[in-house]
A and B are shown apart, each in its own frame.
Chain A
Amino acid sequence: MTASQDHTDTSASIPPEEKRSGRDLLIVNISDMKLSSKPEDVIVTYSLGSCLGVTAYDPVVKVGGMIHCLLPNASGARGKSRNNPYMFVNTGVAMMVRQLMDKGAERGRLVFMAAGGANMRNDTLFNTGLRNFEALEKLLSRNKVSLTSKQVGGTIPRTMFLYLDTGRVVVRSFGKETDL
């Protein structure tokens, strides 16, 4: 596993102990990112509320990463992006892609998927989940990239898995798993 470098892991989220098919999991906390090129690895992030989980995977060199972003950008939380780039969609996803390319991935081959971005019921006040997803769409569009698959919105919590051997992405909610 190659953990992300030069960032502060700011999450206190302690997930339940778990293995996937006997494999240990690389856990992505809130405002965190992990990447790996080991086929036996599975990357996971738990408890996505309005946060957005994004995966990027190169199926040729089989390197991939996952990020768990709290907010769309640092405009409302000025000064936070320097020490916590993965807290924000606009800075974090770009940094994840750069690190994947450092590991041999090619930008044109990367497969992007997203999950999370939920909102409170009847929330017309904040729409953080929606703002997070819109920030991702804007970023990808600017780079002429599109999402291959997504499961976003609604009011449900989600857990997201990325299998490094195949690039398979699974979303779990209420105990039910769905392939993206």
Chain B
Amino acid sequence: MTRREEILNTISGVVAVPSCSHKAAGMLGDPSINFQALARMVTHDPGLTANLLKVVNASFFGGTGRPLLTVDEATLKLGSTQYLQFVISTGVAPTFVQKIEGYDLAPNMHTQHSVTVGMVARELARVLGVDAPDYTFTAGLLSGIGKTLLGGYVDIEVQPILDLALKEGLSFDQAEDEVLGINHAELGAMVLESWGLPEEIVRVVRFHLRPEEYEGVDVVLDLVHMGNVLAKMIGVGLGVDGLNYVPSHTVAERLGLKPEHMDMVMANVVIELESIHDLFIECAEPPI
């Protein structure tokens, strides 16, 4: 069995993505629960968002309607009572992890980085005057979710992966491919696809590090690719993979992205992040 097959076999059993969900679980125990506060937390947590979209796009809820792509859509579909049941049903507390091994990321760091990617993608669209769909933020939020699944394998092989990246000049995802037979973008996409998440999101997750490998043109993919680049440059939640990813010239050209756009977006997002500072602190608190 190859390393890739071994990883895929293991990951096929994953039923929920680790998340900063102990806080959500704690909120459920509060009789005066603030539903809006809970929804805000889910919106800014990649694990909870992925788990929610999995549930709402399952046949029981999805029916014959179109796929649901955002937390807002999912919330409208479920209604508050079912929404709470969803949070309970994901078995939130046991899925909390202290650290994403391999990438050397505390859970709050991964959350911060994921939120930043989504915010940058959304802000890029605004600054560039691009008409981007609502799920742009969600796609950015979920783009790095494969790290939460591949981290254990990266941890074991981190030195050869880093050697390939830092000494041989490979990007971190290329080095993951070389050493593990799969990279975190592909793995994340495969898991979300197997969960029935909409193709629009799965595609972005799969190609966000190498958008040129996608044969069509997808503005959300372009925005999330650059969102990931700028989030890493800002430095929020940087892990051991650092800045070892290659920005696409084709995408920059397609978006008409210039350094002054980028500066404006980075400045605006750093300021916007302050508005959700409290969520990151909550996520950093260890489960009781």
Within 8 A of B (CB), among A110-161: 116, 118-129, 131, 155-157
B276 proximal to A (CB < 8 A): yes
Is B242 positioned at the interface, with any CB of A under 8 Å from its CB? yes
In the assembled complex, the Cα of A49 lies from the Cα of B237 at a distance in Å of 10
Grouping DSSP codes into helix (H, G, I), strand (E, B) and loop, the B interface class, with mixed when no group exceeds half, is: helix
Asked if B238 and A70 sit within 8 Å, CB to CB, the answer is no
Do residues A125 and B249 form an inter-chain contact, with CB atoms below 8 A? yes
User: Do A118 and B271 touch across chains, with their CB atoms under 8 A apart?
Assistant: no
Task: Judge whether A13 is part of the interface by a CB distance below 8 angstroms.
Answer: yes
Minimal beta-carbon separation of A153 from chain B (angstroms): 11
In the complex, are the beta carbons of B171 and A121 less than 8 A apart?
yes
How far in angstroms is the closest Cβ of chain B from A173? 8
Whether the Cβ atoms of A13 and B235 lie closer than 8 Å is yes
B267, A77: Cβ atoms under 8 Å?
A: yes
Is A178 an interface residue when CB atoms closer than 8 A count as contact?
A: no
- Of B184-192, B198-206, B211-219, B256-264, which stretch is located at the interface? B256-264
| Contact residues in A for B166 (Cβ distance below 8 Å) | 155-156
Across the interface, do B274 and A70 meet the contact criterion of CB distance under 8 Å? no
Complex interface: chain A residues within 8 A of B261 (CB): 76
Q: Contacts A87-B267, A120-B243, A123-B247 known; A16 to B235 CB distance under 8 Å?
A: no
Which B residues between 250 and 275 are near A, CB-CB below 8 angstroms? 252, 257, 259-264, 266-268, 270-271, 273-274
Q: Is A80 an interface residue (CB 8 A)?
A: yes
The answer on a CB contact under 8 Å between B233 and A87 is no
Interface residues of A (CB under 8 A from B): 8-14, 16, 30-31, 47-51, 70-71, 75-77, 80, 84, 87, 116, 118-129, 131, 155-157, 174-175
Do B260 and A50 touch across chains, with their CB atoms under 8 A apart?
A: no
Would A70 and B270 count as touching, CB distance under 8 A? yes
Let me know if B235 and A47 touch, CB within 8 A.
yes
Q: Are A14 and B112 also in contact (CB < 8 A) when A120-B246, A125-B252 are? A: yes
The 7 A-B residue pairs with the shortest CB-CB distance, nearest first, are: A76-B263, A49-B235, A12-B273, A76-B260, A77-B267, A157-B238, A50-B233
> Bound complex: CA of A11 vs CA of B237, how far in Å?
12
Interface residue ranges of B75-107 to A (CB < 8 Å)? 104, 106
Most B CB contacts (10 A, CB to CB) among A50, A76, A84 go to A76
Choose among B233, B262, B263, B284 the residue with the greatest number of A CB atoms under 10 Å from its CB.
B263
Is A77 touching B264 in the complex (CB atoms < 8 A)? yes
Chain B residues with CB under 8 Å of chain A are: 104, 106, 108-109, 112, 162, 165-166, 169, 171, 229, 232-240, 242-247, 249, 252, 257, 259-264, 266-268, 270-271, 273-274, 276-277, 280-281, 284
A175→B242 CA distance, assembly (Å): 13
Question: Given the complex, which residues of B lie within 8 Å of A47, measured CB to CB?
Answer: 109, 235-238
Which chain B residues lie closer than 8 Å to A13 at the CB level?
A: 112, 235-237
Other-chain residue from B169, B243, B252 in contact with A157 (beta carbon distance below 8 A): B243
On whether the beta carbons of B266 and A70 are closer than 8 Å, the reply is yes
A155-B242 contact in complex given A71-B263, A75-B260, C-beta closer than 8 Å: yes
Pick from A14, A50, A75, A131: contact of B235, CB below 8 A.
A50
Show 26 residue pairs from A and B whose CB-CB distance is below 8 angstroms, ordered by the A residue. Answer: A9-B274, A11-B270, A12-B236, A12-B280, A14-B284, A30-B234, A47-B236, A49-B233, A49-B238, A51-B233, A71-B263, A71-B267, A76-B260, A76-B261, A76-B264, A77-B263, A87-B267, A120-B232, A120-B243, A121-B171, A121-B243, A124-B249, A131-B259, A157-B238, A157-B243, A174-B162
